[in-house]
Each structure stands twice: as C-alpha cells, then as structure tokens.
C-alpha cells in the first residue's frame, strides 16, 4: 500500500464521515423540531455552527491538557474510522481495515473520552468534573451489554475481526441481527448510552451542569469537538451496520442503513426524560444485560 | 562467579551500607548509589551457571532458569531505580541505614528466591524477604504497628502453608528439588496433588494479594516509604506471581488439572473486580494505588490460571508491565508526598502547574495502566482478552472488562484529583518540581512504557524464553504485531502511527489557527454563572466523586473480607478467653492438671504402642 | 491571494455569514424579561429556524441578552459573563429598563443606561417586548453582523477605560481578573 | 377570645404592655425593647404562638422613631398577634430574637441592612442583599432614592417630560381626581 493512495482514501473517508455525520446531526435537530411542532433550523445548520466556531476571533484555554483534549477525541474518532470497513469488499475504502480487530476498537473508542475528561478536568470548573464522573460511570453501564453482544458474536463465529463477522454474514446470506437477535438487542439498547442522547444525557445536561465537560470549551476547541462528534457518530453507526446489518455494498445503501439505525436513539431520546446516573447504570444492567446473557448462551450452546 | 555470591554480596553490602550510614549520611548515599548502578551492570553482563551447596545432607541448588531471569530482570531494574529514587526521597528522614539495609536485604531475598532451584532455599529467602519488608512496613514506628501485625500474620500463614507443603513434598518425592517435584507431581495421588499445590498457592497467594488473602496489602503498601513501595508492589508482589505461575502452569496445566487453573483464574477475576471497586472509592492516593495493585495482580492471576499459551504470555507480560507502571505511579506518589507532604485528595489539587514532569510520567503510567491503545498496557489487555475469548471464558471476560472499564474511574480520579482542577496559589506556593535524581527513574521507566506500546517485541523475547521453562516451547512472537489462537491479528504500528499522525496534524491546526488570540487563563477564571471566585473559595471537586456509582453497587460493597477476618479474630479471642480460665493461678488446680495429663498420657501410650 | 484585499473580504463575508446564521445565546436571565425567552425559543415562535439557540456557558455563547432591569448586584455578574465570552460577541439590550431605566428609573439599585457600562449592539424596546419584537431584534443584529457593523466587542476593547470607570463607580469592591482579549 | 388573650397578656406583663383588639383574629400589642423578648418567649412557650409570621420595620420619621413589628401566629387559636416596638431613630438598637425563632435571623439581617438597626448579639455577615453599599441604609425615608439614582446612574435625556399621569390629567383638563386616587398621588 503506497502512502499516496492511503492518504487519498483516508482523507476521503474522513470527509465522507464528516459530511454525513454533520447532516445526520442536522437531521436530528430538524426532526426534534418537527416533533416539537417547530420548523427547526436548516439541515446544514451544523456546518454553519462549525464555521462560526472556527472563525471566533479569540479563544481561551486553561492549559496544555485542555488544549490537547479535543485532539484526543478527534484522533480517536479518525483512527477508529480507519479500522472500520466502510463498504463490503470495497477496494477503495481499504484504509487500515485488516490491521486491527474488535477488542482494539473497543479500547480505542474510549481513549477520546479519557483525554476529554483530562482536558475538562484541567479547566477547573467543578461542573466539568461532575459531568466527567457521570460520563465515566455511565460508560461502565453501557459498555457491559455492548461487550456482551460482541463477545457473543465473536465466540459464535470464531473470529474477532469486523471483516470476519461481515464475511460470516456474506456467506450465510442473513444479517447477524436476525441470526443473533439477543446480541443485537443488547447492543441496540446500549446504543443511546453510547451516543449520550436523552435519556442518558445527564453528562452534559445544560440546565444542571452548564453543559458539563465542555463548559470551558469555546471557539475552535468547541468547533473541533463538534466536528469530532459528527465523525464519531458516523463511526459508531457504520460499526453497528457492519456488525449487525451485513455492511453495505454501496454508499447509498450505507447512508440508508445508518440513517435508519440512527433514528433509533434519536426518536427514543425525543420521548424520554432524563435518567439520573445511577438510574441509567441500573437500566443498562437490567434488560440489556439480560439480553446480552441470552446472546452469549445462544452463541455458546446453540 | 557463582550466583550465590551475588546474593551474599548484596547482603554484605547491605550491612556495609548500614555501617556507612552510621559514619556519615553522604557516604551511605554513595553506598546506595553504587549498588543501584552495580546491580544492573552486573546482572546484564554475567552468564548464568549452576551452583550447589550441601547443608546437613541436603543439597541446595542455585541457578537461573530463563523464567526466573525474566522476573530477576524486573527486580533488578525496579530495585536499582527505586534505590536511586530513594536517595533524594529519603533524604530528610532518619534511621536511613536501617531502611537501606532492609531494602537491600529484600532485594537480595528476591534474587535468592529467583535463583533457588529447591524449595528449602526458596523458603529461606522467602522469609528473608518477608522479614525485611515487614521491618520496612513498621519503619514509621508505633502508629503502624497494627498494619505491620496484619502483614506479619498473613505472611506467617503463608509461610507455614509453604513450610508444610515443603515437608509433605519432601516426604512424597524424597527431595525438595523444584524440577524433580514437577516431574514427580503427576504420580501423586489426587489428594496429595490438591493438598501440596493448594498449600503452595496459599503461600504464594499471600504475597500476590489474591482475593481472600489481600487484607494486609492496602495497609502495608500505604505505610512503607513510597520508594520502597515501588519495589514492594512492583516487584516483591511478583514473587507471589512467580510461584503461582510455576504452580498454575507446571502443576495444573501440564498435569491435567485445568479445573484448579479455573479456580485461580476466577479468584483473579473476582479480585480484579472488587479491588477495582474499592480503589474507586478511596480518598487517599496510596490506598487507591494499593487497591489498584491488588486488582492488577488479579488480571495476572487470570492469565496464568487459564493456562493457554497466549494467556500465560499475557499474564507474564502484564506482570512485567505492572511492575513498571506501578513502580512509576508509586514514585509519583512519593514525589508528591516529598514536595507537599500530603497524600489525600482533600489536600491536593492543581499540581500540573508546578510539577509538569511528574504529571507527564503519571499520565503515561496511567494510560498504560488503563490499557489504552497507544501505550504498552493495551498490548497486555489485548492478549488477555483474546486468550479468554478464544478459550471460551466468556463470562470471565465480562468480569475483566467490567474491572478494566471501572479502572478508568480511578485513573481519572488519580490524574484529576492530584494534578488538574483548581490551582490553589496558597497550596502551590512552596511546591516545586522534584530533583533530577527522582526524575531519572520515573522518566526512563515511562519511556520504556511508551516504547513497548508500539514495539512490545522488545520485551516479548525474554518472555518467550521464559515460557519455554513453563513448558510452552517455540512461542512465536513478532516485534509489533499480535496474533490470537484463531489467527486474527493486531498490527500495532499502523494503529499507533495513525493515531499519532492524526493527533499531530490536528495539534498543528488547532495551535496555529488564531494563535495570537489564544489566551491562557488561570483556573480561577471559570464560567460559573458570573460569580467571581475569591482566592479562598475552593471549587476543586475531587472527594467522593463517584457517589452515584457507589449507589449502584452498594449491595456488593457492603460485604468486605475484612469483616470476615474480624469475626474470625473475635471468635479466636473468645476461645482464648475461655482458655485463660484454665490458668487459675491456684497451685492445687495445676497439680490436678498434671495428674490428669499424666493419666491421659498413660492411657494414650498404652493404646498406641 | 490571501494578502489580496478583495479576497480577504470574501473570507470575511463567509465568516460574517456564519456568525450571523449561528447565534448562541447565553442562557442568563437578569430580569423579568427572561420569561419572554421560552416562548421565543419554543414552538410558537421558534427562533431556532434562524440558527438561534441557547448556550449554557459564556465560553460557547455569542450573544448576551440583558433581559430587563439590571440590578447593580447582577451588573457585576453580567460584566463577568460578558468578559468570559469570546470575540466576536454581541449584546442585546432587552426592554425599556435597559434603555433608560424604565419603571425603575429612580431606583437606587438598578442601573438606568446599559450602554454606559457595556457595549450594546441592539436595543429592543417595550415593557416587555413580545417574542415578535425579540425576533425582530435578532434580525436587526443579524443585519448588522452581515454588514460588519456589530462591533460592540471592539468598542469595549478600545474604550475599556471609559467602561471600567463607569463600572467601578457602582462596583466599589473590584475583584475581577484583567480583561485582555 | 381575642379579648381574653389580651387580658391574659396584660395580666401577665402588667404595665409593660398595652394593646387592643384590632379585628377578628387579630390582636395588636405595644411593648418596649426591654420587654419584647419576654413577651415573645411567653407567647411562644406558654400561649402556643409558635410561628413567627413576619418581622418588619417601619420608619416613622416624623416621630423620630422606628417601629419594629413582630407578627406571631398560633395554629390552635388562629389568632395573629402584632407586637410592635418603637426604637429611637438616632440610636437604633433592638434585642436579637433569633434564638427564639431561627428564621428571625434572616429578617434581622435584612432590617439591619435596609434600616440600619443594630440587633444586640446578632452573629451574621454584614452583607446580605446589598453589595458594596456605602450610603445610608436605603429604606430610611430620608434617603432620596431618585436623587441617588440621578447622582450614581446615567440619566438618558428625554425623560424630562415624563410626569405623573394623574397630574398631567389634572393640568390638561382641569378635572378633579376622585378621592381614592388622590390618596395615592405623589
């Protein structure tokens, strides 16, 4: 693999993720508005927000760690993106697909959170620290059913790579969400926690915590965080589509599948009030955990 | 030169150091420094050779197996760094000669354990190590007597178990040679197998602080001086792991007793989860690290207990790595204690301003501890998970995952509570960065942690050699990629380089854009509803910060092993209270006892003989 | 090309368009006018369709709404919040109390003219202004931004002594950090 | 019933207290700074007037006195006792009663800040509502708030013709204001 081609594909992938993720965030705001009987902002509103944040004429930071915090996030998102197959058997979007596996992704996806936590901590704002502790606590909650789902799939199909799981779906002709429904349910229920959408948005609750961890971030830092947020949303959606919905053979199908999947946390969030931290952990350790156990039992004994 | 001479030289040097400190502090420090430099210089240049001593008809054999030399490497590196670190750290304290003598004795004891090829000499050195570490635990004087007592009681239990095992093994196999014991182990009856191995495991498990036997560890790690705790928790506890690896792998895996391996693994998994939970709720950094050590040793026990090639490999890798990063973290705590005199989250905040280097090494060590990808901890975590998944330990993998996700909580607490957050001028006024002699050990170990993250092959080589002693021949390893039993691979170089490339790219962008108008402001200038913060207001939120999580898991947190032991000790106390009545102090009663005893003896002897 | 004056202007136009179309309003209600904000934001008047949304902290906000009478005690906090916001930043004086004191013109604890203490870009009069008026005020602000005339933050920087003098006349115990961006 | 209560109080405190029944369920008593603590303690502990409804101050500048008003209430008899105490305006000192009702502390702080009345033995921070206040206490009637506002804040030109609506109406048409309206006129 020569470096020029790799640069081309990786930049294309990142740009794709950025644009799609931004539009998804815009659609989320639009749908929220429509549900609340409003007109809502245009779907490209988030692009404008990012441009505005980057064109702020002054920025403040409290120190090195806060300066680096958005970078941890965005480096994590883009590296994760490189390890996820965008399309099935694509010769273009190869990136680093064959270089890592699911355990690596599981760990990589939390690096950004810890970096962000340190940056938020350096700000010295107690709201940030409270938000971070809530976020980390919630992470323990949703990671367990999510890992259970992945472990179930891995032991059933004797592979730990995403490509392997996609090949299984190609060979059997059915999606894993149908052949391993319990694992899928567990992973799906863990999804809103991963997105931190309502009802699991106590981490950055604006009214209680003054937007929590990001309360000291403004200007270009907030712009980077928003960019990262949309890329990371796309990463998570593609990961779910690849694992449970057989991946996508072309970009249109990918967009359709990810959008349908994205509607689940969005629409659930619209009709849900906010959980307290311990309530959300108890939620994740309730039914999702049960479905995860069923998934593992199915994988181990059927 | 023979191996035994090194150990005797260390012991001799310890006594010389003690005398040197009697004469002059500077001279003593020179003695310490010389050992710190000579130890690795000698260790990494010599060629191993076996040596046998005959004492009272028993032949005691010494020599390194490649497995032992793996641990010896850790011991040597960590001890010499810790000795160097001690020189400035212990500078203001008294009874230095006593401290260093015991320090060196425990180093010599550890080397002796690793060199012993028979159980008797292993036991002797084990006791030297235990006693010297006990003397350092109670180094602070009377206020730590209780902690020392706890440590001593548990060590004594372990020692007696081990002694009993040695006697039994001697009876059953005819000698105490370790290799011959392993060779003859499959011929034992199953009861003998179980008894001997369990007794040995108790002995080793006490030192490695495995779940029911961990009670001594938080106190002992906390109360000894931090420069010694780096060795205590980093290397000395690995002696337990060393023994456990021998027992678990050589006895259980290769003798068709995998169920006992499972028991060890489950004990490790439960230790990992519960110790992590306890670590989360500590408000003293030393206690936090102590519980974290217990949890990390749990991972290693899991790796050794499962007993597949990858898992043992992961266990040994994690053992070495835990020694390194926990060594750094204890040194960081020591540095903070040295500069501020405080170790409680209530008293410390915002040290990054004055101690940036210490923060950096702590960050590196914490990332390694948490097992995050760019650094070396991830390699061990990856191998551990893959080994568990590929060997169908799918419930245990959840325990380990729960534990290592929960570990992020205390990792964040450690970094945030000490270094980040509100910077109090009043508190930071007199704080400065640690002296160079303390920086060097921390910095070098941190560098190695970074290097192993991308090139773990540097350390895989000795581990692979060590594996051959444990019966896994021809372990394949590559410089910077990992493979599991199903053939799925993980390439570290692309992953880490990609991460760093993106990081640097955005670092340049975010630094260059609007560079002139990016201002650094103090932590008192925060957005808190427009209320200006006065200097006396402390908004640092670092005590009891995981209250919501505590509410979730409070059902399990109620039951502590301590309570169990407390009940036992209370029961024993009452038992002896009862016995005290026998000693009534009345001559006639004693006369009666003598008569009863003699009668009983007569009856017994007539029935037996 | 970048140094060319004409092309720089294009960059400015794009940036000003972005600034105008995305106004994050600091959720800080100083007086009774804050009650007019919920109807402005929610489904009846829906200010979000113009890109106006709330921001929880000053660091993220662009617009500071002074909603109604401003007590001397909250003036201190408002100044603090304003100085923590990042340039370019705008102030909308909301209601007649901010213009000339309104019905509190002779009160000992509310200020009369907001623009003597902080650089106001747009005033919305009325007691209270209805949500339509609020949206009209925002539209006016957007026009000013697009034309590059909403320069309150520059005025504040350049005339800092003037504003400080007036502020210190009320706030005797001055404990705030320096303003230097 | 109100009369019985009043009689009881007068009987107990003799000439230290004077009072009248204002209306249904409302008794007004006048007492002095030296007696007020005893009266309140007696009312609270013996008569069951356990609730301090309100505690306020009135500035009788014409008589050169402040009047402190303690409204206490009994949930049993449903009667409110308005106990009033006059304090000299030149040297305003009153007894502290926050050991009888803890929440009187807040009232006392406010009165101290707004009227400048010292309460003997009141332990609380000086500043409560006002910040950096250096003038005379603003609720005193000799404090001219309009003058202060003119002096401190910046008047916007254009307010000069802003007049009292009622006066304007009188000037414009010459019609008479109704009686109740005059009462409130400035």
Please tell me if residue C15 touches chain A, with a CB cutoff of 8 Å. Answer: yes
DSSP for residue C159: T
Give me the pLDDT at residue C7, please.
54
| Strands in B522-605 per DSSP E | none
Torsion of CA A259, A261, A266, A267, to 10 degrees: 110
Q: What 3-state DSSP class applies to D65?
A: strand
Nearest CA in chain A to C85: A218
Q: Determine whether the interchain pair C177/B517 forms a contact, defined as Cβ–Cβ distance below 8 Å.
A: no
* Sheet bearing D26-31, strands edge to edge: D18-23, D26-31, D80-88, D65-73, D51-60
Q: Which domain holds residue C75?
A: 24-170
SS (H, E, C) B260-291: HHHHHHHHHHHHHHHHHHHHHCCCEHHHHHHH
Please tell me if residue C77 touches chain D, with a CB cutoff of 8 Å. Answer: no
Nearest CA in chain D to C99: D156
The interface residues of chain A toward chain B in range 90-149, judged by CB-CB distance below 8 A, are 96, 99-101, 103-104, 107-108, 110-111, 113-114, 117-118, 121-127, 129-130, 132-134, 136-137, 139-140, 143-144, 147-148
Q: Nearest Cα to A162, choosing from A243, A229, A103?
A: A243
Half-sphere exposure of B34 (CA within 13 A, CB side): 13
End-to-end CA distance of chain B: 54
DSSP symbols for chain A: --HHHHHHHHHHHHHHHHHHHHHHHHHHHHHHHHHTT-----TTHHHHHHHHHHT-S-EEESSHHHHHHHHHHHHHHHHHHHTS-SSTT-SSS-TTGGG--HHHHHHHHHHHHHHHHHHHHHT--HHHHHHHHHHHHHHHHHHHHHHHHHHHHHHHHT--SHHHHHHHHHHHSS-HHHHSHHHHHHHHHHHHHHHT-TTS--TT-HHHHTTGGGGG--HHHHHHHHHHHHHHHHHHHHHHHHHHS---SSHHHHHHHHHHHHHHHHHHHHT--PPPHHHHHHHHTTHHHHHHHHHHHHHHH-
Q: Determine whether the interchain pair B405/A139 forms a contact, defined as Cβ–Cβ distance below 8 Å.
A: yes
DSSP symbols for B491-540: EHHHHHHHHHHHHHHHHHHHHHTT-TTEEE--TTS--STTPPPPTT----
**Which residues, 6+ apart, have CB-to-CB distance to D185 below 8 Å?**
D164, D166, D167, D177
Asked if A touches D (at least 3 Cβ pairs < 8 angstroms), the answer reads no
- The encoded tokens of residue A198 equal 């309502």
CA D31 to chain centre: 15
| Cα distance between residue B224 and residue B141, in whole Å | 10
Give me the pLDDT at residue D165, please.
64
Using 50 as the pLDDT threshold, list the residues of chain A that sit under it: none
CA B597 to chain centre: 49
Residue of C76, C78, C177 with shortest CB distance to B525? C177
User: H or E element: which one contains B482?
Assistant: strand B481-483
| Cα distance between residue B205 and residue B298, in whole Å | 11
Taking the CA of residue A270 and the nearest CA in chain C, the distance in Å comes to 15
The whole-chain average pLDDT of chain B stands at 83
Q: Is the predicted pLDDT of residue D183 greater than 60, yes or no?
A: no
Chain B residues in contact with A125 by the CB 8 A cut-off are: 526-528, 539
Could you tell me whether strands D80-88 and D65-73 are parallel, antiparallel, or unpaired per DSSP bridges?
A: antiparallel
Q: Is the predicted pLDDT of residue C173 greater than 70, yes or no?
A: yes
Residue of C78, C175, C181 with shortest CB distance to B534? C175
**Which residues, 6+ apart, have CB-to-CB distance to C136 below 8 Å?**
C124
The number of distinct structural domains making up chain C is 1
**Which residues, 6+ apart, have CB-to-CB distance to B48 below 8 Å?**
B3, B63, B64, B69
| Cα distance between residue B83 and residue B105, in whole Å | 12
Residue B33: how many other CB atoms lie within 10 Å: 16
Chain B residues in contact with C80 by the CB 8 A cut-off are: 530-532
Give residue for tokens 């854009």: B513
| Cα distance between residue B244 and residue B262, in whole Å | 13
Q: With contact defined as beta carbons under 8 Å apart, do B508 and A71 qualify?
A: no
Give residue for tokens 């009047």: D67
Please tell me if residue B411 touches chain A, with a CB cutoff of 8 Å. Answer: yes
Chain A residues in contact with C58 by the CB 8 A cut-off are: 218
The pLDDT confidence band at residue D57, using thresholds 50, 70 and 90, is very high
- C84 is a domain residue: yes
Tens of pLDDT along D4-44? 888 888 888 888 888 888 888 889 999 988 888 888 998 89
- The encoded tokens of residue D139 equal 């609720």
Tens of pLDDT along D83-111? 999 999 888 999 998 888 999 999 999 99
Chain C residues in contact with B531 by the CB 8 A cut-off are: 77, 80
Report the number of secondary-structure helices (H) and strands (E) in chain C.
7, 5
**Which residues, 6+ apart, have CB-to-CB distance to B158 below 8 Å?**
B202, B203, B204, B205, B206, B207, B213
Q: Determine whether the interchain pair B495/A100 forms a contact, defined as Cβ–Cβ distance below 8 Å.
A: yes
Domain D2-126 matching CATH 3.30.460.80: the answer reads yes
The interface residues of chain B toward chain A in range 280-319, judged by CB-CB distance below 8 A, are none
State ipTM: 0.85
Give me the pLDDT at residue A48, please.
92
Taking the CA of residue A59 and the nearest CA in chain C, the distance in Å comes to 6
Q: Is the predicted pLDDT of residue D114 greater than 60, yes or no?
A: yes
Q: Determine whether the interchain pair A57/C60 forms a contact, defined as Cβ–Cβ distance below 8 Å.
A: no
Taking each helix axis from N to C end, the angle separating A3-35 and A45-54, rounded to the nearest 10 degrees, works out to 120
Q: Determine whether the interchain pair A59/B548 forms a contact, defined as Cβ–Cβ distance below 8 Å.
A: no
**Which residues, 6+ apart, have CB-to-CB distance to B100 below 8 Å?**
B14, B17, B18, B21, B28, B31, B32, B83, B86
The pLDDT confidence band at residue D186, using thresholds 50, 70 and 90, is very low
Q: Which of B527, B528, B534, B536 to mutate to test the interface with C (most CBs of C within 10 A)?
A: B527
Taking the CA of residue C108 and the nearest CA in chain A, the distance in Å comes to 32
| Strands in C1-130 per DSSP E | 23-26, 52-55, 63-67, 90-94, 122-124
Please tell me if residue B520 touches chain C, with a CB cutoff of 8 Å. Answer: no
Alpha carbon separation from C168 to B240, C42, C105, C171, C176 (Å, rounded): 69, 38, 20, 5, 11
Could you tell me whether strands D18-23 and D26-31 are parallel, antiparallel, or unpaired per DSSP bridges?
A: antiparallel
Tens of pLDDT along B257-304? 778 888 888 888 888 888 888 888 888 888 888 889 888 888 888 888
Q: Where are the domains of chain B?
A: 573-608
Q: Determine whether the interchain pair B510/A151 forms a contact, defined as Cβ–Cβ distance below 8 Å.
A: no
Q: Nearest Cα to B393, choosing from B246, B269, B253, B488?
A: B269
Q: Determine whether the interchain pair B531/C176 forms a contact, defined as Cβ–Cβ distance below 8 Å.
A: no
Half-sphere exposure of A241 (CA within 13 A, CB side): 27
Q: With contact defined as beta carbons under 8 Å apart, do D57 and D119 qualify?
A: no
The subunits that touch chain A, with at least 3 C-beta pairs less than 8 Å apart, are B, C
Give me the pLDDT at residue D4, please.
86
| Cα distance between residue A275 and residue A269, in whole Å | 11
Q: With contact defined as beta carbons under 8 Å apart, do A265 and B363 qualify?
A: no
Residue of D145, D154, D158 with shortest CB distance to C106? D145
Chain C residues in contact with A46 by the CB 8 A cut-off are: none
Within chain B, what is the greatest distance between any pair of CA atoms? 101
Please tell me if residue C29 touches chain A, with a CB cutoff of 8 Å. Answer: no
Residue of A40, A58, A206 with shortest CB distance to C49? A40
CATH number at residue C69: 3.40.50.12280
Tens of pLDDT along D136-178? 888 888 888 888 888 888 888 776 666 666 666 667 666 666 6
| Strands in B352-433 per DSSP E | none
Q: Is the predicted pLDDT of residue C6 greater than 60, yes or no?
A: no
Residue of B522, B530, B534 with shortest CB distance to C77? B530
Using 50 as the pLDDT threshold, list the residues of chain B that sit under it: 1
Q: With contact defined as beta carbons under 8 Å apart, do A41 and C48 qualify?
A: yes
**Which residues, 6+ apart, have CB-to-CB distance to B304 below 8 Å?**
B241, B244, B245, B248, B249, B261, B264, B265, B268, B311, B312, B315
Torsion of CA A202, A208, A211, A216, to 10 degrees: -130
CA A180-A181-A187 angle, to 5 degrees, is 95
| Cα distance between residue A127 and residue A211, in whole Å | 8
| Cα distance between residue B78 and residue B234, in whole Å | 8
| Cα distance between residue A49 and residue C3, in whole Å | 26
Chain C residues in contact with A38 by the CB 8 A cut-off are: 42-43, 46, 48-49
The pLDDT confidence band at residue C1, using thresholds 50, 70 and 90, is very low
The subunits that touch chain D, with at least 3 C-beta pairs less than 8 Å apart, are C
| Cα distance between residue B291 and residue B284, in whole Å | 11
Q: Determine whether the interchain pair B488/A164 forms a contact, defined as Cβ–Cβ distance below 8 Å.
A: yes
Name the H helices within B420-456. 425-428, 436-454
Chain C residues in contact with A42 by the CB 8 A cut-off are: 49
**Which residues, 6+ apart, have CB-to-CB distance to C161 below 8 Å?**
none
Could you tell me whether strands B51-55 and B58-62 are parallel, antiparallel, or unpaired per DSSP bridges?
A: antiparallel
Half-sphere exposure of B376 (CA within 13 A, CB side): 27
Q: Determine whether the interchain pair C86/A38 forms a contact, defined as Cβ–Cβ distance below 8 Å.
A: no
Nearest CA in chain D to C70: D153
Residue B544: how many other CB atoms lie within 10 Å: 12
The sign one gets for the Cα dihedral C139, C140, C141, C147 is positive
Q: What 3-state DSSP class applies to B53?
A: strand
Q: Per DSSP, what are the bridge partners of residue D54?
A: D71
Please tell me if residue B98 touches chain A, with a CB cutoff of 8 Å. Answer: no
What φ, ψ does residue B93 adopt, rounded to 5°?
Answer: -95, 165
Please give the model's pTM, rounded to 2 decimal places: 0.87
Taking the CA of residue C81 and the nearest CA in chain B, the distance in Å comes to 5
């Amino acid at each position: 693999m020569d470096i020029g081609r790799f640069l081309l594909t990786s930049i294309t992938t990142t740009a794709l993720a950025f644009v799609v993720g931004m539009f998804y965030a815009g659609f989320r705001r639009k749908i929220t508005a429509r549900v609340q009987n409003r007109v809502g902002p245009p779907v490209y509103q988030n692009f404008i927000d990012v441009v505005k944040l980057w064109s702020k004429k002054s920025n403040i930071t409290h120190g090195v760690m806060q300066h680096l915090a958005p970078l941890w996030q965005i480096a994590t998102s883009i590296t994760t993106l490189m390890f996820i197959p965008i399309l099935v058997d694509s010769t273009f979007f190869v990136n680093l697909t064959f270089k890592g596996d699911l355990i690596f992704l599981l760990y990589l996806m939390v690096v950004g959170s810890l970096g962000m936590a340190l940056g938020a901590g350096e700000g010295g704002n107690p709201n940030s620290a409270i938000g971070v502790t809530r976020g980390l606590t919630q992470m323990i909650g949703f990671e367990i059913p999510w890992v259970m789902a992945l472990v179930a799939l891995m032991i059933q199909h004797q592979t730990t790579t995403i490509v392997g799981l996609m090949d299984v779906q190609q060979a059997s002709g059915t999606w894993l969400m149908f052949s391993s429904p319990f694992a899928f349910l567990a992973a799906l229920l863990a999804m809103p926690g991963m997105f931190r959408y309502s009802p699991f948005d106590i981490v950055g609750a604006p009214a209680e915590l003054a937007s929590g961890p990001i309360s000291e971030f403004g200007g270009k830092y907030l712009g980077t965080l928003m960019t990262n947020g949309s890329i990371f949303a796309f990463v998570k959606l593609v990961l779910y589509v690849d694992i449970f919905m057989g991946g996508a053979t072309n970009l249109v199908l990918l967009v359709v599948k990810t959008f349908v999947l994205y509607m689940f946390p969005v629409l659930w969030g619209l009709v849900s009030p906010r959980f307290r931290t311990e309530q959300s952990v108890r939620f994740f350790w309730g039914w999702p955990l049960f479905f995860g156990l069923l998934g593992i039992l199915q994988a181990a004994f059927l | 030169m023979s191996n035994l001479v090194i150990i005797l030289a260390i012991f001799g040097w310890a006594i010389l150091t003690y005398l040197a400190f009697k004469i002059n502090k500077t001279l003593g420090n020179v003695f310490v420094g010389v050992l710190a430099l000579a130890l690795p210089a000698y260790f990494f240049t010599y060629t191993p050779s076996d040596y046998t001593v005959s004492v009272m008809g028993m032949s005691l054999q010494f020599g390194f197996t490649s497995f032992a030399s793996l641990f010896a490497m850790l011991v040597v590196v960590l001890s010499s760094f810790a000795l160097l670190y001690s020189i400035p750290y212990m500078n203001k304290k008294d009874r230095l000669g006593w401290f260093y003598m015991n320090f060196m004795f425990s180093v010599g004891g550890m080397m002796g354990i690793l060199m012993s090829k028979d159980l008797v000499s292993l036991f002797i050195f084990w006791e030297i190590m235990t006693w010297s570490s006990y003397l350092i635990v109670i180094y602070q004087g009377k206020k730590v007597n209780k902690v020392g007592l706890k440590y001593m009681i548990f060590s004594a239990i372990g020692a007696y178990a081990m002694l009993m095992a040695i006697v039994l093994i001697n009876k059953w196999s005819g000698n105490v040679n370790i290799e011959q014991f392993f060779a003859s182990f499959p011929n034992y009856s199953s009861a003998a197998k179980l008894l001997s191995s369990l007794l040995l495991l108790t002995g080793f498990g006490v030192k490695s602080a495995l779940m029911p036997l961990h009670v001594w560890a938080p106190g002992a790690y906390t109360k000894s001086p931090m420069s010694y705790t780096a060795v205590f928790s980093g290397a000395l506890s690995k002696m337990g792991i060393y023994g456990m690896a021998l027992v678990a792998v050589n006895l259980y895996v290769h003798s068709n007793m995998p169920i006992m391996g499972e028991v060890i693994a489950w004990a490790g998994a439960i230790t990992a989860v519960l110790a992590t939970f306890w670590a989360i709720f500590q408000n003293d950094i030393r206690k936090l690290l102590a519980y974290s050590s217990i949890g990390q040793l749990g991972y290693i026990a899991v790796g050794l207990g499962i007993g597949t090639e990858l898992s043992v490999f992961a266990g040994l890798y994690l053992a070495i790595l835990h020694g390194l990063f926990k060594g750094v973290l204890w040194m960081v705590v020591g540095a903070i204690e040295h500069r501020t005199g405080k170790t409680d989250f209530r008293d410390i905040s915002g040290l990054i301003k004055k101690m940036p280097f210490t923060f950096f090494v702590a960050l590196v060590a914490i990332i390694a501890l948490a097992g995050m990808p760019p650094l070396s901890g991830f390699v061990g975590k990856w191998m551990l998970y893959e080994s568990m998944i590929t060997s169908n330990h799918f419930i245990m993998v959840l325990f380990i995952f729960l534990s290592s996700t929960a570990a992020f909580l205390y990792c964040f607490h450690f970094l945030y509570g000490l270094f980040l957050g509100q910077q109090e001028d009043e508190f930071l006024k007199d704080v400065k960065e640690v002296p160079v002699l303390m920086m060097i050990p921390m910095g070098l170990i941190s560098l190695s942690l970074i290097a192993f993250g991308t090139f773990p092959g540097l350390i895989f080589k000795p581990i692979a050699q060590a594996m051959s002693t444990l019966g896994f021949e021809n372990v394949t390893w590559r410089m910077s990629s990992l493979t599991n039993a199903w053939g799925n691979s993980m390439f570290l170089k692309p992953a880490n380089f990609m991460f760093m490339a993106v990081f640097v790219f955005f670092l340049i962008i975010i630094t260059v854009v609007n560079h002139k108008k990016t201002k650094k402001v103090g932590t008192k200038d925060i957005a808190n509803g427009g209320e200006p913060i006065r200097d006396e207001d402390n908004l640092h939120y670092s005590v009891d910060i995981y209250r919501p999580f505590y509410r979730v898991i409070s059902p399990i947190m109620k039951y502590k092993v301590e309570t169990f032991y407390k009940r036992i000790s209370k029961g024993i106390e009452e038992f002896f209270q009862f016995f005290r009545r026998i000693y009534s102090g009345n001559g006639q009663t004693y006369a009666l006892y003598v008569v009863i005893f003699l009668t009983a003896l007569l009856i017994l002897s007539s029935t037996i003989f | 090309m970048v140094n060319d004056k004409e092309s720089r202007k294009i960059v400015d136009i794009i940036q000003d368009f972005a600034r105008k179309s995305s106004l994050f309003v600091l959720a800080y209600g100083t007086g009774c006018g804050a009650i007019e904000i919920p109807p402005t934001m929610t489904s009846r008047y829906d200010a979000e369709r113009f890109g106006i949304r709330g921001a929880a902290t000053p660091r993220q906000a662009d617009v500071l709404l002074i909603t109604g009478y401003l007590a001397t005690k909250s003036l201190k906090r408002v100044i603090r919040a304003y100085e923590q916001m990042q340039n370019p930043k705008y102030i909308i004086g909301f209601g007649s109390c901010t213009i000339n004191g309104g019905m509190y013109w002779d009160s000992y604890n509310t200020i009369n003219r907001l623009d003597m203490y902080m650089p106001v870009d747009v005033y919305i009069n009325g007691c209270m202004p209805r949500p339509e008026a609020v949206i009209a005020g925002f539209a006016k602000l957007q026009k000013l931004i697009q034309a590059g005339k909403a320069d309150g933050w520059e005025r504040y920087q350049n005339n800092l002594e003037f504003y400080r003098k007036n502020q210190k006349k009320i706030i005797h115990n001055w404990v705030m950090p320096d303003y230097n961006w | 019933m109100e009369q019985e209560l009043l009689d009881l109080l007068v009987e107990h405190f003799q000439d230290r207290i004077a009072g009248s029944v204002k209306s249904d369920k409302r008794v007004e008593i006048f007492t002095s700074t030296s007696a007020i603590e005893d009266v309140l303690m007696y009312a609270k502990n013996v008569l069951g007037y356990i609730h301090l409804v309100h505690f306020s101050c009135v500035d009788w500048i014409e008589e050169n006195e402040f009047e402190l008003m303690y409204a206490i209430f009994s949930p049993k008899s449903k009667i409110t006792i308005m106990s009033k105490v006059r304090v000299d305006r030149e040297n305003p000192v009153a007894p502290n009663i926050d050991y009888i009702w803890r929440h009187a502390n807040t009232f006392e702080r406010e009165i101290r800040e707004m009227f400048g009345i010292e309460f003997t033995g009141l332990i609380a921070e000086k500043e409560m509502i006002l910040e950096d206040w250096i003038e005379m206490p603003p609720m005193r009637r000799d404090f001219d708030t309009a003058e202060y506002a003119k002096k401190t804040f910046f008047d916007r030109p254009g307010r000069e013709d802003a007049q009292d609506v009622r006066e304007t109406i009188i000037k414009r048409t010459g019609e008479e204001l109704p009686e109740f309206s005059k009462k409130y006129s400035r």
